[in-house]
Structure 1
């Protein structure tokens, strides 16, 4: 009589004694990993990545189109209407999409950039295109043509708030609330702006204030002349960003954004740069300006301002970064919560923003 095969024996193989396939209780430790980082980093786009990509366009006159639109725009279909801004690094044009009539802002950046920088810009643009907040300027597309980088942005028909005074505290509170809402949204997504200033705060006919020029400018700064418009950038830098010795070499971009925001709000209220006319952003001594930011007392709201506004500015302009409020905390400050919300259908958006003389 032939004995029965062993339980672990395979057909066509000689019978073998059963062996345990694993040791009970045996575990292998997993390597430590930062829970905030990706397990597998995303690769950079290849050099032959598509030269253009786009999302929904901006409607004529500044109105917003349906967000469900996924039409891809060709650069050849964008008609330049007029120039709305320029500098040594590039030009911003108001453009019209011929097939639909939608209006955009097209930022054309000059200069030759290395392939690695271009690939990084492509990657960052893809991240920025996913930003969807009513207080952040939408990025609709990116084009790389003939050595120039084109960035298609939402058009804001009211322009920037640079050079404007906002003496009314309720109006300024509404502007601050909108900027903080956009800033808190970016910070929740781990996006640091690094260049909050009045010229990067735009307004439209619906009285919406939005944050512009984030992300890509930081990458391009690595390849451009660091002294180009240095005073305009340094003017809003936090003390610990200028002098890393002030905070033991630790710099938080989030608290740095709050400092820049607070300085901008105080400038709107005063109608001048808070560190003084002689240390202004144009024609000033940038070395003296850096010393003033790092070693003088932070600017304060004047005694004529309300206690709430004075407290609000003090919460932003703290020398020690850990003492500054976060953007989310500032949204709950009495200066913001007590202010009457101005309806979008109220008077023209710039009536209370008086141009500086």
Structure 2
């Protein structure tokens, strides 16, 4: 709470907290900081629907932004503000660990000529996965904190694949973790898809056949990580091998 009270203008603003259900639940109250970057970038195909399956596509906001001659300035400004938010967090030796469009809220306001130009004020929210430097190095040992609270698509390779090398220490979740995630968000804003490292259906079918994934009985999460690894490799990104003890 102290971090969110004092860390500057690019973090979600904490208001108060209170307990309910006889003290068994703690509720935190924050200010309304606008719409998430995810909701700005994507919309349901065919318009909003209540219930049922929704197929997301790039939103009219994203398409208009990318078609404008100065649209790249909007992207760069959002990235700049994301980095300012992370700088405020990292200055207090805290790693957010879940930087993604859903956790970046933006409010738009007019900012001069041309008249259509809208400037955003961005804030980083949701510190449920955050970790301070002392805890990362002294409370978790070589295993590190649980990966259950991270979003795989935005996590760095060493965090996603580090557990594949038994007996070697997992890379600590420190500030470079957030910088990687910010880079993925940047790529997503440029590409207009949350599947920055996605491989096509043909590649997935070939991997299934050649590696015998079905015969090995790999679960959905393991297959997801394997396809993510292949997507990274197509961009010449390879998970670093942890250093030996």
Instruction: Give CA deviations for 1:264-316 in whole Å, capped at 9, x if unaligned.
Output: 1111111112022769xxxxx5433322444653675xxxxxxxxxxxxx9xx
Q: What displacement does 1:132 show?
A: 2.7
Q: What displacement does 1:319 show?
A: 4.5
How far, CA to CA, are the matches of 1:180 and 1:299 in structure 2? Answer: 27
2:197 corresponds to 1:275: yes
2:157 to 239, 248, 254: 239
User: What's the Cα RMSD here?
Assistant: 3.4
How far, CA to CA, are the matches of 2:147 and 2:175 in structure 1? Answer: 24
3-state SS of 2:126 partner: coil
Report matched runs for 1:5-16 at 5 Å: none
2:26 corresponds to 1:149: yes
2:123 corresponds to 1:210: yes
Report matched runs for 1:200-349 at 5 Å: 200-206=103-109, 207-214=120-127, 216-218=128-130, 233-244=151-162, 248-272=169-193, 273-276=195-198, 285-294=220-229, 296-297=231-232, 319-320=239-240
3-state SS of 1:235 partner: helix
How far, CA to CA, are the matches of 1:277 and 1:250 in structure 2? Answer: 26
TM-score by length of 2: 0.57
Q: What displacement does 1:190 show?
A: 0.7
Higher helix share: 2
How far, CA to CA, are the matches of 1:211 and 1:264 in structure 2? Answer: 13
Choose between structure 1 and 2 for higher RCO, CA contacts under 8 A separated by at least 6 residues.
2
Alpha-carbon contact 2:7-2:88 (below 8 Å) kept: no
2:5 corresponds to 1:130: yes
Closer, same or farther in 2 for the Cα pair 1:264/1:160, shift >3 Å?
Answer: same
How far, CA to CA, are the matches of 2:238 and 2:175 in structure 1? Answer: 13
3-state SS of 2:27 partner: strand
Alpha-carbon contact 1:240-1:251 (below 8 Å) kept: no
3-state SS of 1:205 partner: strand
* Unaligned stretches of 5+ residues in structure 1: 1-124, 220-225, 280-284, 301-313, 322-357
Alpha-carbon contact 1:239-1:293 (below 8 Å) kept: no
Q: What displacement does 1:203 show?
A: 0.3
Closer, same or farther in 2 for the Cα pair 1:184/1:210, shift >3 Å?
Answer: same
TM-score by length of 1: 0.41
3-state SS of 1:249 partner: coil
How far, CA to CA, are the matches of 1:183 and 1:278 in structure 2? Answer: 33
Partner of 2:87: 184
2:78 corresponds to 1:175: yes
3-state SS of 2:172 partner: coil
How far, CA to CA, are the matches of 1:179 and 1:140 in structure 2? Answer: 22
How far, CA to CA, are the matches of 2:74 and 2:96 in structure 1? Answer: 24
